[in-house]
Structure 1
Amino acid sequence: MKEKFIVTGMTCSACQNAVEKSVGSVKGVESVSVNLLTGDMLVEGQGDLRQEVVRAVQAAGYGVKDPAGQGTPAKEDPAEDLKTFFLSSLIFLIPLFYIAMGPMMGLPTFSFFQGMQNSLILALSQCLLTLPILILNRRYFISGFKALVHRRPTMDSLVAVGSGAAFLYGLFVIYQLAYGFSYQDMARIDRYHHDLYFESAGMILTLITMGKWLEARAKSKTTGAIDQLMDLTPDLATVRREGVEETIPLDQVRLGDLVLIKPGQSIPVDGVIVKGQTTVDQSSLTGESLPVDKGVQDQVLAATINLESYIEVQVDRVGEETTINKIIALVKDANASKAPIAKLADEISAIFVPAVMAISLLTFFVWIFLGYGLEFALGKMIAVLVISCPCALGLATPVAIMVGTGMGAKKGILFKNAEALEELHKVKGVFLDKTGTITQGQPQVVDWIDYGGLDGEKERIAFLEGQSEHPLAKALVDYLPEVQGEKEDFDFQNILGQGLVGDFASGRLLLGDKKLMDAFSIEVQDLKDLEGLSREGKTLLYVAKEGKFLGAVALADQIKEGSKEAIDQLRARGLKTVMLTGDHALTAQAIAKDLALDEIVAGIFPDQKEGQVRQGQKLGKVAMVGDGINDAPALARAEVGVAIGAGTDIAIDSADVVLMHSDLGDFVYAWDLSAATVKNIKENLFWAFFYNVIGIPIAAGVFYRAFSLSLSPMIAAFAMSMSSLFVVTNALRLNAFKAKTLPVDQESRPASLVQEGHDEKIEKIEKIEKIERKDSMNQIVLKVEGMACGHCKKRVEEALGALEGVKGEVSLEEKQVTISYPDEVSVKDLKDAIQEAGYEVVS
């Protein structure tokens, strides 16, 4: 079983711990996690434990709502309730405070409240004004004393004991005054008529509620990112069922339904367009600044906007399976999880409240022992109880995590858990997958080299490549202008691993690599110059027609806009950057020549990337940035796995962080956000600890005898409320967070790329490239006339062997030579060598 619940009434980390312990003690519960800010509780266990969980939460003194609707209802807006309680309490507190403190402040007061003879009237009036405040804020007493009974005291317990003690002492004074007037014991009346603490009890409860109201208002702002995400999807959808159009609530839409979407409307579902063409604004999910063209069979996502035309969409994902809901769930899960730094606060909070209660009792008895009287001792005890409420301590981490993950979500950066948010800024190295991370992941035409006649074949090249699904073919079709006029009929042949052959009415058109040219005995002009483009990481397609070489097209995967700046910024932050790629070394070097990378690891498979990450971990924590699918082993191995994704597949299984915009610059933002969030948490924890370390001794009167320094319970209550508000407000400063652009020293590029070791590095890469080419030699079979004996065989093989990297095997019976040769040697070179040996090549 894995169930979610909503817990109400929690005010501090002690409340959170109490709920977790109470539910955790239920037989069959394996784990429980409670989010103090949102009230979400996730319970895992064996069997159906909903009823037992509800009872356990209620036994701890809190409200709960489960998916089946059992238990006490959850309040949708606690801030409004707290505001009502605060303002209502204030109506009674103002006259209470006036009649209790007015005379001391020189304010005019009623005659029947003045003098010792009216002290009983004054006491009863204060009691009657305090009672409504206690009733309005009774939840502190209900939950606080329940927690005490279960030996799990919380902040509410401190408030209940402190304010309750003040009120009970006031009742005690009323009885003493009544006794004095009954028996004319004026000494007793004189002793007790100033010992009223009703205003302290009323003021404590009112100030605590005020602090909780302000805190709830501030906390509601921390969930703004989730609210904004939820607001992106419309509540209604127009569907056509059995020919009838109807508008229904979104939760009633079923798989396979046909949803009708007009221009300007937000798309309510994930699905496939079955009718119409339009452009869609996907910026809310993918961060794409420009609208995307969509047609039949194209995927559209919920929470994006249909801009131009009417479309009909067939639903293929609903409810929690939609992309937007997965994003929302991811943000919520991150908020519900605890960062490692929060464990310290949790451990302290678990013993903090019992320790404070012990300190308050010790304070009471010490002052009684020193002879300062019951009134003084009680005041110090109450002040200790009230000032030390652990709200600030409990809020220090979750509010910062909430705001940090919310800021990330607004930027399109999804943290799977709070640990990832905390750990990211600790990494010392970043491993970067090349394709799709540093580069666009799609080849583009970068050079069009015409040796005569290539431009005239553009339309036929487009026709020919249009028959192929290969990425290079798609790139070439996208590059060429749209074909005008009537399409030619032609015969099409795809020669695997070499290229395409098209037999048009005007002749045979060849488009492929050098192997294809060799197979058809096409002599490639300026071969060495063209092959030099390969050293720049480009892929060459040669074009020939009717035996004549027309030219070549060079394609390459281009570096993404922003990748260079992002890598520069990572270096400026002191991070080591390593590029991992399956491409051979020369291509990797060419791609990375303008990038400030520390290392390049080329020619490796996905499982080998995991080994590189493991090796890098010997020097410290590392992050791996990849596409989240073929890089899954490396992503899982790294302390922080970061998936680059465009919104439809966020790879949450293998990654800890998802960059929805597929922009490496967002990784820099995420790193800075992690550092800023952890800094904010440390500031909050410091304030919470500092406040209690200083506040509790002052409230206990440690400095009273030496410096007359002390705190009244009212001031203590105000200070406690303000400390919680300070922590939440400090966390909200993260809403103004912006990543810094650090200065980059372009002269201090990595030595392996531009300084003294540059030439040596290139030499090593060239050696690797030569080995790779020997392992992948070209082969051709040539028919040769004139060979008749073993001597002829030897002469031909020696002639071919004189060419670097070439090996020939002669078959006298078949009168042919099977030749293996590298790319640097052309077929013409082979034929010339055989003919110079005295033999004739016939084909």
Structure 2
Amino acid sequence: MSLALDRKSDVSASPAAPATSQKPAGHVVLDITGMTCAACAGRVEKALSRVPGVSLASVNLALERADVDLTSADVTPEALAAAVERTGFGAHPRPPSAAERRAEQQAVEAERAAAERRQLLLLIVSALLTLPLVLPMMAAPFGLSLHLDPWVELALATPVQVLVGARFYKAAWKAVRAGSGNMDLLVALGTSAAYLFSLYMLLDRGHAAAGHLYFEGAAAVITLVMFGKWLEARAKRGTTAAIRALMTLRPERARVLRHGAEVEIGIEEVRAGDSVIVRPGERMPVDGTVIEGESEADESLITGESVPVVKRPGDRVTAGALNGVGRLTIEAIAVGEDTTLARIIRMVENAQSGKAPVQRLVDKVSAVFVPTVIGIAVLAFAGWMLAGHGFENALIAAVSVLVIACPCALGLATPAALVAGTGAAARAGILVKDIEALERAAAVDTVVFDKTGTLTEGRPALTDAVPLAGTDEDTLLRLSAAVQSASEHPLAKAVLAAAPQGALPNVENFQAQVGRGVVGTVEGKRIAIGNRDLMREQSVDIGPVEPVLAKIESEARTAVVVSADGAAIGVLGIADPVRPEAAEAVKLLARRGVRSEMLTGDSEAVAAKVAGALGLTDYKASVKPADKSGALSALAAAGHKPAMVGDGINDAPALAAAEVGIALGTGADVAVETAGVTLMRPDPRLVAAALDISRRTVRKIRQNLFWAFVYNVIGIPLAAAGFLTPALAGAAMAMSSVSVVTNSLWLKRWRPRFSSGE
């Protein structure tokens, strides 16, 4: 590979980043309150979509959040919130600043915690009142007769129906006013029918109504649904723990040096270039570079790396990282919404708020689900009446249908798994941009690695400086370093680091030839540094240095020719060591049935050595940056699902062309923006981990949808046929939502495993 073949950061020499689709005129995020099922989310989505100027509205039930894309900047967040409130739900525009969002998040968390406590109190009261009602039913199989007086049953059931069940009536009324149905409407209809029928029988027959009362069914349904919603709320808090953990990492105050004095200010007042003081045990308030002091930083919640990282002058630090025992002075580079931590939070939020294609189908089903269930309940009632089984049996069958058919599980199936899976990935240092990237990553069967900075350290060092006769080593290095001083390429830095001490001469007419090398004028001489292609372009005869080139390349080092005014004056050898984790990364992928390939602009000899060290049988050498995307397209045309792993500007087209692009977060910004998945630390083993969590999350989504549909497909016919009582139907309905969320929570236990015995 030549000195500029895998250019990582020289923007002027890089190909243009791939064009992106036109962005909407604006984007608004609303926090929604009061949703209880997928039908509720559908109502909110429909209300927002009807607002003029809205191009797309997406509502996430698990996160209780709405994302709205606008075609007109004239649409205000307040107008959108008003549209939601007209449907009976609460809506609050999310504040733009990080400090305001953090304050709102804390207020929302406090409100949810208080609501959860109130819900728990109501649940306890409901359970205490319901238990005496269901005890006779539970004791009957054991030959015990514990029947209560009918009037006692009424006294116990009425508070449950009227007070505890009030939330269902309120939500059901809002749904009816909005011209739609939801889970609350089904519960309200079913329990009211059972309660009112029992009340009628008691008032009409008195004690003779014993045995024909269903107070226990109505009370049990309300209690079980309340229990299910309480468990669901707790589980949902667990799935969103990743975002809350990241939000808590951002300090609200920072100490900066102003006019030689240490001043404490709000984090929003810190500016790029400020000198920020970080004391032992504090979190880094900004992204920056250490200019004074030495310490260790715990970056585990940001990069997933559990081992503290030593920080010395010149090292980068990331906002949110926990400082160790030393005092640091850092120069702020990125502040506020531009910090790495803020970008991580945005990426995780965007991924968790997305919708899988299958979820859109579920939303359509949910929109007609409640009316369909009511229709089935009416048919069941009519069928039992026509069959001559009487009003009582017909009513119980209809009530059971209404109670068991809850769309909650359908609405939670996808978002619950998505939130838990992306949260677990974020804790491990794997950021997924959106649900589409997650689904594509789950299907990947081939991983294509860039070499420099991905499979290798990306911190090359000069190993050889071989001058030709008439040139000494110091002159060769001085002229080379002078030209390379205008480049930011990692190989250029290796030459600069090895240059003789002292001021370097100026370079003029500098040009970076992508994939070939660099050219510039130094001390009146036209100096060219690069590979054989560049030398041919410059009409340089490399015959005299060919043996030296071949020897350096045979030892897996990069060799470049240096010429002056069209004549070769020497050869430089540069080594970029292979990452110690790279070989294991290839093995981990192989165990998952995923092929690994390498694309590099380096020479065949160097590529062969690196591939041999990693156990790679498939690689392509001397690949120009512009040809990398073509190689990915060829794999796709052959029926493969390729992922591209890279970190440089020149990798961006290939990252965009792949089924899914995987970028190292330590690489160029354009690579990170283009990729669907970002690894927050340069460990290639995380590629296998990213594919693993993607597959597990997609599998959980499918499992959740299967169980959600199974509950209804099996439960509704059983209820209509009279095999389920309202109490059993209520238990099944409550457990459907709980099982879906609990199944998703297993993803929180996921951790990357790198042991050879995995």
Give the TM-score of the pair, scaled to structure 2: 0.80
Q: Equivalent of 1:601, from 616, 620, 631?
A: 620
Residue 586 (structure 1) shift: 3.5
Q: Residue 38 of structure 2 aligns with which residue?
A: 13
1:90 aligns with 2:131: no
1:631 aligns with 2:651: yes
* SS state at 1:346 partner: helix
* SS state at 2:724 partner: coil
Q: Equivalent of 2:364, from 331, 347, 352?
A: 347
1:303 aligns with 2:320: yes
Residue 713 (structure 1) shift: 0.9
Distance 2:478 2:237 in 1: 59
> Which deviates more from structure 2 when the two are superposed, residues 60-69 or residues 8-17?
60-69
1:28 aligns with 2:56: no
Corresponding letter in the other structure for 1:733:
W
> Which deviates more from structure 2 when the two are superposed, residues 99-108 or residues 643-652?
99-108
Residue 330 (structure 1) shift: 0.3
Q: Equivalent of 1:142, from 158, 167, 170?
A: 170
> Which deviates more from structure 2 when the two are superposed, residues 592-601 or residues 423-432?
592-601
* SS state at 1:44 partner: strand
Distance 1:720 1:276 in 2: 61
* SS state at 2:702 partner: helix
Q: Residue 634 of structure 2 aligns with which residue?
A: 615
Q: Residue 442 of structure 1 aligns with which residue?
A: 459
Q: How does 1:677-696 map to 2 (within 5 A)?
A: 677-696=697-716
Q: How does 1:7-406 map to 2 (within 5 A)?
A: 7-45=32-70, 46=72, 47-67=74-94, 76=110, 78=112, 80-98=114-132, 102=136, 105=139, 114=149, 119=150, 121-122=151-152, 124-126=154-156, 128-131=158-161, 134-176=162-204, 188-189=205-206, 192-241=209-258, 245-255=262-272, 257-273=274-290, 275-281=291-297, 283-284=299-300, 285-286=302-303, 289=307, 291-295=309-313, 299-307=316-324, 309-406=326-423
Q: Equivalent of 1:570, from 572, 589, 593?
A: 589
Check conservation: 2:672, 2:678, Cα contact below 8 A.
yes
Can you list the C-alpha shifts for 1:510-551, whole angstroms capped at 9, x where unaligned? 999999xxxxxxxx99984774222344245899xxxxxxx9
Distance 1:62 1:526 in 2: 76
The gaps in structure 2 that reach 5 residues or longer are 1-25, 511-517, 533-542, 563-569
* SS state at 1:667 partner: helix
Distance 1:674 1:647 in 2: 22
Check conservation: 1:235, 1:249, Cα contact below 8 A.
yes
* SS state at 1:352 partner: helix
Q: How does 1:520-535 map to 2 (within 5 A)?
A: 528=547, 531-535=550-554
Residue 449 (structure 1) shift: 9.6
Residue 558 (structure 1) shift: 2.2
Distance change >3 Å, CA 540–CA 626, structure 1 → 2: closer
Distance change >3 Å, CA 264–CA 610, structure 1 → 2: same
Q: Residue 796 of structure 1 aligns with which residue?
A: none
Distance change >3 Å, CA 420–CA 459, structure 1 → 2: same
Q: Residue 723 of structure 1 aligns with which residue?
A: 736
- CA RMSD, Structure 1 to Structure 2 (Å): 4.3
Q: Residue 802 of structure 1 aligns with which residue?
A: none
Distance change >3 Å, CA 89–CA 172, structure 1 → 2: farther
Distance 1:513 1:362 in 2: 81
> Which deviates more from structure 2 when the two are superposed, residues 345-354 or residues 356-365?
345-354
Check conservation: 2:428, 2:751, Cα contact below 8 A.
no
Can you list the C-alpha shifts for 1:396-433, whole angstroms capped at 9, x where unaligned? 22111111111211111110001211221212322222
Report which structure shows greater RCO (CA 8 Å, sep ≥6). 2
Q: Residue 535 of structure 2 aligns with which residue?
A: none
Check conservation: 1:443, 1:558, Cα contact below 8 A.
yes
Residue 21 (structure 1) shift: 1.3
* SS state at 1:441 partner: coil
Check conservation: 2:287, 2:316, Cα contact below 8 A.
yes
Q: Equivalent of 1:734, from 699, 724, 747?
A: 747
Corresponding letter in the other structure for 1:268:
P
Corresponding letter in the other structure for 2:674:
S
Distance change >3 Å, CA 538–CA 697, structure 1 → 2: same
Distance 1:542 1:629 in 2: 24
Q: How does 1:700-715 map to 2 (within 5 A)?
A: 700=720, 702=721, 710-715=723-728
Distance 2:353 2:450 in 1: 31
* SS state at 2:612 partner: coil
1:655 aligns with 2:689: no
Report sequence identity in percent.
38
Can you list the C-alpha shifts for 1:217-253, whole angstroms capped at 9, x where unaligned? 1221112222222232323222344666443443454
Q: Residue 792 of structure 1 aligns with which residue?
A: none
Distance change >3 Å, CA 410–CA 67, structure 1 → 2: closer
* SS state at 1:153 partner: coil
Residue 152 (structure 1) shift: 2.3
Q: Residue 586 of structure 1 aligns with which residue?
A: 605
Corresponding letter in the other structure for 1:157:
L
Q: Residue 774 of structure 1 aligns with which residue?
A: none
Distance 1:164 1:84 in 2: 23
Distance 1:569 1:722 in 2: 38
Distance 1:266 1:646 in 2: 20
* SS state at 1:642 partner: strand
* SS state at 2:163 partner: helix
The gaps in structure 1 that reach 5 residues or longer are 177-187, 452-456, 503-509, 516-523, 544-550, 705-709, 745-843
Corresponding letter in the other structure for 1:714:
A
Check conservation: 2:362, 2:410, Cα contact below 8 A.
yes
- How many residues are aligned here? 691
Can you list the C-alpha shifts for 1:633-677, whole angstroms capped at 9, x where unaligned? 221122211112217848443111111112221111111211222
Check conservation: 2:135, 2:146, Cα contact below 8 A.
no
Distance 1:101 1:669 in 2: 50
Distance 2:504 2:55 in 1: 68
Residue 378 (structure 1) shift: 1.6
* SS state at 2:619 partner: strand
Q: Residue 515 of structure 2 aligns with which residue?
A: none
Distance change >3 Å, CA 109–CA 566, structure 1 → 2: closer
Instruction: Mark the structure with the bigger radius of gyration.
Output: 1
> Which deviates more from structure 2 when the two are superposed, residues 665-674 or residues 298-307?
298-307
